[in-house]
Amino acid sequence: MYDQQRRFMRRRFYFRLLTSLVVVSVFGLLIIYSFIAGKFFESLLILIMWIQMELSWRQIEIYKRSLEPRFTATLHSTERLPSIQYLEVSNMGKSVAYRVGVCRILTREGYEPLDPVVWREYVKSYYVDIPPGDSKKIAEIRNASVLDRYVVEVCYDTAEEPFKLFHILKFNESLLILQAPEDLPGPLLNSIIFLRNTLRGLWLKYELRKYEKHL
């Protein structure tokens, strides 16, 4: 399972590296060609305008994301039914989260989905709308070991996007919200940032190996 996941991540990294190199190379070649053709300053001005456009695009996206729902999760039971636990989600963001509910149960190793026929015997999901500042129950858990052994995947809609998700993981009696980071828009800036981070990671790996040799 871990080998398959590593292979997938490795292929994804190489694809991202290749696309970043292509994007940066295309812009670099255009600058070199414009310098040879005697239009260096015109091309430099276009490049600056392009970067400013991407920066503006990113600022708009950052503002839009600041208005999106942000979640916390708690688990509690009632005195009347102590064997049943209720998964409650709070919306700490600034917009409504629509149709919030459990869509899958995943294994902790490899995030493999369980058969819905199996997990729905132990987890009953509600699909609810959660306004900003409100909390609602999204699931009824009839087996206390579900959150100890598995990861709960929660799906929801926003006014901007029809399908988003996050994961709930139990760790030391606390519920953690895990949500995959999304790249900001802008192919050139994203490529430059990715290549910079890759070079920084390689340099840190080289320095770590040098340090280990001296131990």
Over its C-alpha atoms, the chain yields an Rg (Å, rounded) of 23
Final residue in a domain of this structure, among 66, 83, 111: 66
Rounded-to-integer distance, Cα 204 and Cα 61, Å? 31
Which range of residues forms the domain containing residue 96? 71-178
pLDDT of residue 5: 59
> What is the Cα–Cα distance from 55 to 19, expressed in whole angstroms?
20
Q: How far apart are CA 35 and CA 29, in angstroms?
A: 10
Residue after which a domain boundary falls, among 66, 90, 105: 66
Do 101 and 23 belong to one domain?
Answer: no
**CA-to-CA distance for 139 and 96, rounded, in angstroms?**
19
Q: How many residues in the chain? A: 215
Q: Are residues 20 and 34 in the same domain?
A: yes
Tell me, yes or no, whether 60 and 96 share the same domain.
no
Angle of CA points 79, 84, 86, to nearest 5°: 95
Residue 140: predicted pLDDT? 92
- 54 and 77 together in one domain: no
Q: What residue type is assigned to position 102 of the chain?
A: V
Non-local CB neighbours of 157 within 8 Å, separated by 6+ positions? 97, 98, 99, 163, 164
| Mean pLDDT calculated for residue range 144-155 | 89
Measured CA distances, 7 to 1, 2, 10, 12 (Å): 10, 9, 5, 9
If one compares 137 and 3, the residue with the highest pLDDT of the two is: 137
> pTM for the full model?
0.72
| Mean pLDDT in residue range 1-14 | 70
**197: in domain:** no
Model confidence at 157: pLDDT above 90: yes
* Same-domain status, 76 and 51: no
3-state secondary structure of 50: helix
Q: In this structure, are 78 and 158 located in the same domain?
A: yes
Q: Based on the domain organization, do 128 and 40 belong to the same domain?
A: no
Among candidate residues 66, 97, 113, the one where a domain is terminated: 66
**In CATH, what number is assigned to the domain containing residue 151?**
2.60.40
pLDDT mean across residues, the chain: 87
- pLDDT number for residue 1: 47
* One domain for residues 80 and 62: no
Helices 187-213 and 2-36 meet at what angle, rounded to 10? 120
